[in-house]
Amino acid sequence: MALDKRDALEFPESDRVFLEPHLPRQDGTTPRSDMPFTTLTFATSLDSALALSPGARTTLSGPQSKAMTHYLRSRHDGILIGVGTALADDPGLNCRIAGVGGYGSEGLIGQPRPVVIDSNARWDFSEDSKLFQLCRQGRGRAPWIVTTLSEPPAEKQKLLEKYGGRYISLQMKNSTGDHHRIDWNDLLLTLRSHGLQSVMVEGGGHVINSLLVPQYMSLIDSVIVTIAPTWLGEGGVVVSPPRRFDGEGNAISAARLRNVKWYPFGEDVVLCGQTQS
């Protein structure tokens, strides 16, 4: 069962070369020893939308950039989303590239650990959830769910642990005094302490907008964005971080990438850059 390659995606060696400078190091070392290498990656429309509406699973990536995203999954220890995405997508969050665990080789090598931010344990997963189906097929790992509850619901905890997942309890302690937001420093330190040396943050909108703020920008080691040639229109889930102002109260850009490279990829373009020089 674990060797079935029928529905595997192909991502040719020739396409991997351009990504290499933007990925975690192959030897597992990280720029900061206590933090994972953190990649921010998502697919967006021309009007900066991730999805048609908060509850809608919306395909943006073409076949080549979709395969690229799955290659990125194989190169990170963890893949992080918010509960809004878990509720909307019933996601698999595994890697479906030919050659990784469950898609041409044994075990779970190359399969990232899904991490879901779900402060109040809202996500009502079950044995039928796609993630657990993939676990049963040997094609993915069970999620770690980050909650602020000190005692997560016992039944859900039991199901998670049955598949090798777990709840991780984290205090809401935000340097800006926003008690509704997990502090990204705490979150990433915690994930590193649990063994993740690299994490790709995939979305959705709330997660990305909460990370793209000055106090957390330095935590992002790499940004890889797929831009699809489509406008989703009003009402979409957008990437648009909080406004910033200079000392005189004039609006300035919220964030700007440096060391930017653009790669055409099928009908999409993939933008790679860094949040600092």
Ligand X SMILES: Nc1nc(=O)c(N)c(NC[C@H](O)[C@H](O)[C@H](O)COP(=O)(O)O)[nH]1
Binding site for ligand X (CB under 6 A): 43, 58-61, 69, 81, 85, 89, 91-93, 202-203, 226
Helix (H) or strand (E) holding 71: helix 63-74
**Could you tell me whether strands 37-44 and 222-227 are parallel, antiparallel, or unpaired per DSSP bridges?**
parallel
Query: Could you give the C-alpha distances from 1 to 4, 75, 104, 225, 258, in angstroms and in order?
Result: 6, 23, 10, 33, 44
Please state, in angstroms and rounded to a whole number, the distance separating the CA atoms of residues 20 and 57: 29
Residue 81 in contact with ligand NAD, rule: CB under 6 A: yes
CB of 31 to ligand NAD, least distance (A): 22
What 8-state DSSP symbol labels residue 101? B
For the four alpha carbons of 119, 222, 38 and 242, in that order, the dihedral sign comes to negative
Q: From the list ligand X, ligand NAD, none, which binds 92 (C-beta under 5 to 8 Å, kind-based)?
A: ligand X
Shortest Cβ 19–ligand NAD spacing (Å): 17
Contact letters (x/-) for ligand NAD, 84-113, by CB under 6 A?
xx--xx------------------------
Q: Closer to ligand NAD at the Cβ: 143 or 204?
A: 204
Half-sphere exposure in the Cβ direction for 160 (13 Å, CA): 22
Query: Rounded to whole angstroms, how far apart are CA atoms 144 and 164?
Result: 9
Q: Which stretch binds ligand NAD (CB under 6 A): 14-22, 161-169, 203-211, 258-266?
A: 203-211
- Name the minimum Å distance from CB 200 to ligand X: 10
Query: Furthest-apart CA pair in the chain: how many Å?
Result: 63
Rounded to a whole number of angstroms, the minimum distance from the CB of residue 70 to ligand NAD is 13
Burial of 208: CB neighbours in 10 Å, binned 0-12, 13-18, 19+: buried
Among ligand X, ligand NAD, none, residue 64 binds (CB under 5-8 Å by kind): none
10 or 186, CB closer to ligand NAD? 186
Identify which of residues 24 and 204 has a Cβ nearer to ligand X in the complex. 204
> Which residue, 16 or 173, has its beta carbon nearer to ligand X?
16
Q: Where along the sequence are the contacts to ligand NAD (CB under 6 A)?
A: 42-43, 50-51, 54, 56-57, 60, 81-85, 88-89, 117, 119, 181-182, 202-207, 210, 237
